[in-house]
Amino acid sequence: MPGFELFGDLEKKQVQDVLDNGVLMRYGFDAMRNNHWKALELEKAIGERMQSTYVHTVSSGTAALTVALASAGIGAGDEVIMPTFTFVASFESILAIGAIPILVDIDDTLTLKPEAVEKAITEKTKVVMPVHMCGSMANLSALKTICKKHNLLLLEDACQAIGGSYQGKPLGSIGDLGCFSFDYVKTITCGEGGALITNEKTYYENAHMYADHGHDHIGNNRGAEAHPFLGYNFRISELNAAVGCAQIERLDEFLAIQERNYTILRNALEAVTNLQFRTVPEGGVENYSFLNFFLKDEETARIGHQALSNAGIDACFYWFDNNWHYYRKWEHLTSKISLGKLPKEVLEQLPDYNTSDFSVSDHWMGRNISCLIKIGWTEEEVQQRAQKMKTVLSNL
């Protein structure tokens, strides 16, 4: 991770094909494009790889989450349960449609704690959104049971976990809807892009219309298309989709390299005492984009993270202090800071997160160090890195 580390001839060929054809928009211009449809080509490839009936590509992972929620009829005042550890896009997508992000604790999977999810359910809860952070998944069996019991939608945010699986099924394909990001630092990239997948035709039909101003996409005259409901512009371009067409073909190549590099590092760290690896739910297979482990306490984790940096070991993250990925630095959410007036439902229903008790999440995040697995490393570089990390962490 990420795919841009290995850009090559396949990506260049796909992009040049669009430029030679001359149509950069995914819709219309049928006579000009000579049957070149990169977004459709990418959607077909994603559907086959993710074992999903319907796929719609959009402009970003954030857009995918927003469109997925809207396609299922989620709107003002509806509550969406999400984890304390994720990227800000999770609550941004919820707020974008006037819904309410309900933060709950994570556990040693670094994803939603099922017991915390069930405790947070109210009569206004409509969706449970597990976020498969850093390449591994939530306990989806438990979450599916909870959703079935309470008649809730299960929306998988698999933006950081494409290629992982759970009980033999691709991540993203297990819930009612699944979302991926193809931004510049994801396992496969379009530069900017995203996709939602589902097996429910209604959600798909709503999604492709909502993401394109409400166009119904019936017929071949774009100006004559109807608009059954309000929509917005979350379209992907043909240039971005072209890069994705090349990268999705290389997904298994990238995953194999990530698994090799991950395994070398993990095997070396197995010998380090007082180090606990992240829990992967039974039946789960990571996409190996990050190696996550816990040290004995917050103080040791801080010292360990600094020691790794001092030793020249880059790409190791201490998310506990991160501005973008952990609730403690989300002042713009907790203080409800917005350029314009927020919806009444958000102002009235959003919990006071300044006083919320997320000590369970803090227990795990305060001890966690997360190491990005690059696919541009040679095997020799990974071996050297593994020995350095082992030495540094053993000396704590």
Residues serving a catalytic function are: 186
Write out the two tokens for 302. 């801080």
- Phi-psi label, residue 315: left if phi above 0, alpha if psi -120 to 50, beta otherwise: left
Question: One-letter amino acid identity for 59?
Answer: S
Give the H or E element holding residue 144: helix 140-150
Q: Which residues, including other chains, have CB under 8 Å from residue 88's CB and lie 6 or more apart?
A: 324, 325, 330, 333
142 — phi, psi (to 5°)? -65, -40
Q: Which residues pair with 276 in a beta bridge?
A: 294
Q: Any idea what DSSP says for residue 369?
A: E
**Residues 346 and 87 sit within 8 Å (Cβ to Cβ):** no
Identify the CA nearest to 175 among candidates 208, 210, 138.
138
Kind of pairing between the strands at 125-128 and 194-198: unpaired
- Round to whole Å and give the CA distance between 197 and 52: 6
Write out the two tokens for 252. 């298994």
Torsional sign, CA 348, 345, 81, 255? negative
Q: How long, in residues, is the chain?
A: 396
Intra-chain end-to-end CA distance of the chain, in Å: 28
- Round to whole Å and give the CA distance between 146 and 116: 11
- Round to whole Å and give the CA distance between 77 and 75: 6
**Residues 161 and 135 sit within 8 Å (Cβ to Cβ):** yes
- Round to whole Å and give the CA distance between 236 and 47: 17
Write out the two tokens for 165. 């699986």
Tracing tokens 């030495």 back to the chain, one arrives at 391
